[in-house]
Amino acid sequence: MTTPRAAGFHMPAEWAPHAGCWMIWPERPDNWRLGAKPAQAAFIAVASAIARFEPVTMLASARQYENARATLPPEIRVLEMSSNDSWCRDVGPSFLRGPNGELGGVDWIFNAWGGLKGGLYFPWDLDDQIAGKILGLERARRFRAPRVLEGGAIHVDGEGTVLVAEQCVLNENRNEGITRAAMEAMLRDYLGVSQIIWLGNGVPGDETDGHVDNLACFVTPGKVLLSWCDDPADPHHAVSRDAEARLKVARDAKGRALEVVRMPMPTPMFITAEEAAGVDATLSGMNRAAGERLAASYVNFYIANGAIIAPAFGVETDAAAHGVLARLFPEREIVMVPAREILLGGGNIHCITQQQPKINDKV
Ligand code: KQY
C-alpha cells in the first residue's frame, strides 16, 4: 500500500488557508447532559463563529437531521451521516496536501480512545467510518493508516514537525506492543513529517489519555503554546514543567530551537451535582461524577481563516487567555465562545472541529 509520504503528501499546518471546517452534531445522552440540548447550543455557537470566516459542514444522524437543520443558521451545510459521537478532530480525516496541491487525507483506525482496554464507548464502528466517508464526499485520496490514532493526538507545523504525547500515542490501549520507533515510522509515513517531538503526559484527567491538542500546539513554525500551571500543588504543574523542559531542548525539522509561550490554565473547574445528574447512566467508560475535575485548557482552540475560535469558561482567567491569543495572532480576530458544555463532554473546540485545507483548484 502506498503511504502518503511515498506519494508526496504531507499534512499542512492548521493556519494554512482552509476550504472549510467539518463538525458532527452531538446527541448521545450518556456523554452530553439533558439529551445533549445544552451541548447542541454550544456546537451551534462554535459553528456560527467559524462560519463567519469559512464554510462549515455539520454532519448529523438521520434521527437528528431535522433538528440540526432547523436550529443551525442556513449558511451552515448539514449532511446526514451516522456516528457514535461528535469528535470530528478524532474521527474525521487528517487532511493532506499532495505534490500538485491535490487533497488527500489519513483515515486513522479509531477505537474510541482505548478500545476494550479503557476506551470510552462500544461500539465505535460508525465513528471509524467517518474519515473515509468525508474523503469520499470530497473525492480526496484516502490513505487508511495501519494503526490506531486520533487527530487530537497530533499537531504539525506544516514544515516537517509533529508534536505528540507519549501517554497517548504510546498507550497500550491504542496499539498494543508498538515500539516508539515503529510509531515514529508511521507518523513519518502518514503525515509526511521528518521530526517527531515527544511530550510526556497530557493534561491530568483528560479522558483521551492525554491528547496533545489539550496541552500544547504550534502557533507558527518554531513557536509552541503550552498550557501552563504555576501552582505546585496542582497535578498540571509537573506536567507543564516536564513539557516545557522537553520543548526547550527540542529542535524542529528545520533545526530551529522552539520558543515556548506559556498559556495560563483556566481556574480549576469541577462537575456540579446538577450537571452530573443530567447525564444518562451508562456502561460506557465515561465518568461524569459530581466533583470530578474537568480537563480544561485554553490551548484547545481552532484556527480559522482570519480568526481564532477559542473556549471561554466564564472564569477569571478567560481575559488573560484572550490577551495571550491576541498577542500571538495579531492578524486574526480572537473569538471566544462559551465552551463549558463541550468541556463537560470530555473535550473542547479543537476536538469538535476538523479543518479542510484549500487545494489547488487546477488539480
Ligand atoms: O478531546 C477529544 N479529542 C475527544 C474527547 C472525547 C471525549 C468523549 N467523551
pLDDT at 282 over 90: no
**How far are the Cα atoms of 40, 256, 298 from residue 47, in angstroms, in the given order?**
10, 35, 18
| C-alpha triplet 278, 284, 285: angle, nearest 5° | 100
Residue 112 · residue 127 · CB < 8 Å: yes
Among 113, 154, 284, residue to substitute to test ligand 1 (most atoms within 8 Å of Cβ): 113
Residue 266 · residue 302 · CB < 8 Å: no
Does ligand 1 come within 6 angstroms of the Cβ of 87? yes
| C-alpha triplet 149, 155, 160: angle, nearest 5° | 105
Does ligand 1 come within 6 angstroms of the Cβ of 227? no
What separation in Å is there between the alpha carbon of 77 and the centre of ligand 1? 23
**Each residue's pLDDT tens digit, 26-47:** 999 999 999 999 999 999 999 9
Mean pLDDT of 313-337: 98
pLDDT at 126 over 60: yes
pLDDT at 24 over 70: yes
Residue of minimum CA distance from atom 7 in ligand 1: 346
Residue of minimum CA distance from atom 4 in ligand 1: 347
Does ligand 1 come within 6 angstroms of the Cβ of 89? yes
pLDDT at 281: 84
The active-site residue out of 21, 88, 168, 351 is 351
Q: What percent of the chain has pLDDT over 90?
A: 96
pLDDT at 362: 56
Mean pLDDT of 141-167: 98
Q: What is the DSSP letter of 99?
A: T
Does ligand 1 come within 6 angstroms of the Cβ of 202? no
**How far are the Cα atoms of 10, 221, 244, 247, 284 from residue 253, in angstroms, in the given order?**
13, 10, 18, 13, 40
Does ligand 1 come within 6 angstroms of the Cβ of 211? yes
Residue 266 · residue 343 · CB < 8 Å: no
Distance CA 50, CA 45 (A): 9
Does ligand 1 come within 6 angstroms of the Cβ of 356? no
pLDDT at 294 over 80: yes
Count of CB atoms within 10 A of residue 286's CB?
A: 16
pLDDT at 342 over 60: yes
Residue of minimum CA distance from atom 9 in ligand 1: 346
Distance CA 284, CA 292 (A): 17
**How far are the Cα atoms of 217, 223, 279, 327, 336 from residue 331, in angstroms, in the given order?**
18, 16, 40, 9, 16
pLDDT at 208 over 80: yes
Among 22, 43, 90, residue to substitute to test ligand 1 (most atoms within 8 Å of Cβ): 90
Type of residue at 280: D
Type of residue at 163: L
Query: Residue 344, exposed/middle/buried by CB under 10 A (0-12, 13-18, 19+)?
Result: buried
**Each residue's pLDDT tens digit, 221-263:** 999 999 999 999 999 999 999 999 999 999 999 999 999 999 9
What separation in Å is there between the alpha carbon of 73 and the centre of ligand 1? 25
Count of CB atoms within 10 A of residue 46's CB?
A: 24
**How far are the Cα atoms of 98, 115, 252, 256, 288 from residue 218, in angstroms, in the given order?**
22, 29, 11, 13, 31
Mean pLDDT of 290-307: 98
What residues does 66 pair with on adjacent strands? none
Return all residues near 289 (Cβ < 8 A) that are at least 6 apart. 271, 276
- What are the respective helix, strand and coil percentages of the chain, to the nearest 5? 25, 25, 50
What separation in Å is there between the alpha carbon of 2 and the centre of ligand 1? 30
First-to-last CA distance in the chain? Answer: 23
Among 351, 353, 354, residue to substitute to test ligand 1 (most atoms within 8 Å of Cβ): 351
pLDDT at 363 over 70: no
Q: Is 351 a catalytic residue?
A: yes
Return all residues near 189 (Cβ < 8 A) that are at least 6 apart. 3, 4, 5, 6
pLDDT at 187: 98
